A and B are shown apart, each in its own frame.
Chain A
């Protein structure tokens, strides 16, 4: 029995290495399960482990592989996905290098305004400056601005009820409770109304080469958003789709960017928007998108992939989401027309196509999200 437990512990360890989340309590469950089932039947063992270790559908492939090597003695073939990601170089791509904090220390934007025109605000100017022309100090300032901006994201109605002083349904429970004070006479009616709820957001961020100068800032925007929007999911895509949400630590930009640099395959490579969006629909849509979710896609729409695939994915997202917003940094250029093939194909499924090249445009977006 103890040999079995030791083997189980090793197996759980290998699962963790393969990127499957297994906790100690899962292992205890598994040990208990194995003591119940017929351990000479390897298929029964496999099924029991699947159930007791709570292996979700997305981790199934990894599980089968680890199981094959640990319980059947087969050597696992090299795996794609998370493991290959780990082996990548840890050099931070150019677009993600962050020197903001140090740079800001010796050159704060406030210093430069001294002696300037009265009423001149560096903030006002910052709002119109495109991201790719920003100094690190300005980015720090802009970040603070962003943070205040995102706080303005207004609330919307939830389906939950909370007590209210104004109009609403009569809450009998609380009304009765109050009658204690008035000797059993219900004098004041307690009421309840729908609670306010912050919007849900899904951000799909293009990290391909053509977006390089914008990516860092848009990711900062995502990190700032994360503080106010509790239900925010962030994905990066270029040739493959990566879920970034677990890596976004609010307030730790350096750490986050470093993690992103290590974790996202093919930074600044090519783009296959259609495939990636299709992947999103297949793997994450049901979990992340509902009728209250706003989906924001940050991309320039320059794509050499299959347009048909893109249309199918966009249609699926549009059908489920509350709104679909496409932010295109190229729109900031007055000469730009959304004529790229992919962009054209996606247009019917976009509720709003907006630019995202400077802070003013992001500010407009926040107002729109709050509406």
Chain B
């Protein structure tokens, strides 16, 4: 599924909107894509109140003011001065502009957690993503040298507007299957033995089947495996799980609920060989 989506996004030259639960690897997808294409990853982390000046460009006002003070002496052409301080040297490139102006090869532009930015920013993003050109009044229009590969991620804390959604291809990442998760553990934490990886995988899968407020993602699985490796554990046991539960379950109610009821049975189930 993921491979198809990335393949289509690359061949159709469209941004890819990735949604899914926290910790399933949405951001990782962009990072891996950049590594695969051997290009730069430019990341724009969205947050509420993110505006054009933080996302696209801003003038370096402090520097401009200094320059003006230095050139205070008479004799300097005002027009030349203006040209100077509104030149590229005084421009602070923010992620979006950098993604467009990168000269070497198309970069991967990761617009992370786009659901956190507000509607107004979304509309602006739409404009940039459709034309890949921006206009800076003092400089003129800047066109993209190479159209970047764009990955947008969303945690669905807000519905993404239809217009933006239509402009992208869409990928919903689900939690991995047991087999895939064990393979991920092996790939990312090679120090973990096959027995530990298998048991951790089974345990986490069983956890996700329960009604939890915050089901663990792959990120949690990996953290936990690393913690267990650090503790020199080669297999799960109830005591260790209880001590390290904070790596997987990051909600107090989830923890207490699990500790009371099902911890030992879940551990036993994970220990059982198929």
Using a CB–CB distance below 8 Å, which chain A residues touch chain B? Answer: 21, 23, 25-26, 29, 32-33, 36-37, 44, 47-48, 50-57, 60, 158-161, 172-173, 175-176, 184, 186, 286-287, 290, 312, 315-316, 319
Contacts and interface: CB of A to CB of B under 8 A. Distances in A.
B210 to A, nearest CB: 12
A25 B166 contact: yes
Contact of B1 (A47, A184, A290): A47
Contacts of A44: 4
Given A32-B12, A172-B61, A23 B4 contact: no
A21 B170 CA distance: 14
Interface in B42-80: 47-49, 51, 53, 58-59, 61-62, 64-65, 68
Given A47-B4, A287-B159, A54 B64 contact: no
A303 to B, nearest CB: 19
Contacts, number: 91
B8 interface: yes
Given A47-B4, A54-B17, A159 B48 contact: yes
Interface string B195-212: 000000000000000010
Please classify the interface of chain A as helix (H, G, I), strand (E, B), loop, or mixed, using the class held by over half of its residues. helix
A48 B118 contact: no
Please classify the interface of chain B as helix (H, G, I), strand (E, B), loop, or mixed, using the class held by over half of its residues. mixed
A158 B49 contact: yes
A57 B157 contact: no
A56 B12 contact: no
B8 A286 contact: no
Contacts of A23: 166
B169 interface: yes
A277 B62 CA distance: 53
B93 to A, nearest CB: 16
A287 B159 CA distance: 6
B166 A52 contact: no
B5 interface: yes
A286 B155 CA distance: 8
Contact of A51 (B49, B159, B170, B211): B170
B1 to A, nearest CB: 5
B87 to A, nearest CB: 15
A315 B253 contact: yes
B180 interface: no
A55 B170 contact: yes
A51 B8 contact: yes
B157 A287 contact: yes
B62 to A, nearest CB: 8
Given A51-B170, A54-B169, A173 B159 contact: no
A54 B53 CA distance: 31
B166 A26 contact: yes
A161 B17 CA distance: 28
A37 B4 contact: yes
A94 to B, nearest CB: 34
**How many of chain B's residues touch chain A, expressed as a range?**
35 or more
Contacts of A316: 213
Contact of A161 (B49, B61, B171): B49
B213 A176 contact: no
B156 A287 contact: yes
Interface string B1-39: 100110111011010010100000000000000000000
B190 to A, nearest CB: 30
Contacts of A26: 166
B233 interface: no
Contacts of B211: 312
Interface of B: 1, 4-5, 7-9, 11-12, 14, 17, 19, 47-49, 51, 53, 58-59, 61-62, 64-65, 68, 118, 120, 155-159, 162, 165-166, 168-172, 211, 213, 253
23 contacts: A21-B162, A36-B12, A37-B7, A37-B8, A44-B4, A47-B5, A50-B172, A51-B5, A51-B9, A51-B169, A53-B170, A54-B166, A54-B168, A56-B170, A60-B172, A160-B48, A160-B51, A160-B118, A172-B61, A173-B58, A186-B65, A286-B155, A290-B157
A36 B213 contact: no
A234 B1 CA distance: 34
A60 B120 CA distance: 29
Contacts of A160: 48-49, 51, 118, 120
A287 B169 contact: no
Contact of B61 (A54, A56, A176): A176
A329 B12 CA distance: 56
Contact of B213 (A51, A287, A290, A319): A319
Closest 6 CB pairs of A and B: A159-B49, A54-B170, A47-B4, A172-B61, A159-B48, A51-B5
Contacts of A37: 4, 7-8
B4 A51 contact: yes
B172 A56 contact: yes
B169 A52 contact: yes
Contacts of B162: 21
Contacts of B118: 160
Contacts of A175: 61
Given A54-B165, A176-B61, A48 B8 contact: yes
Contacts of B47: 159
B61 A173 contact: yes
Nearest to B174: A57
A315 B118 CA distance: 28
A161 to B, nearest CB: 7
B160 to A, nearest CB: 10
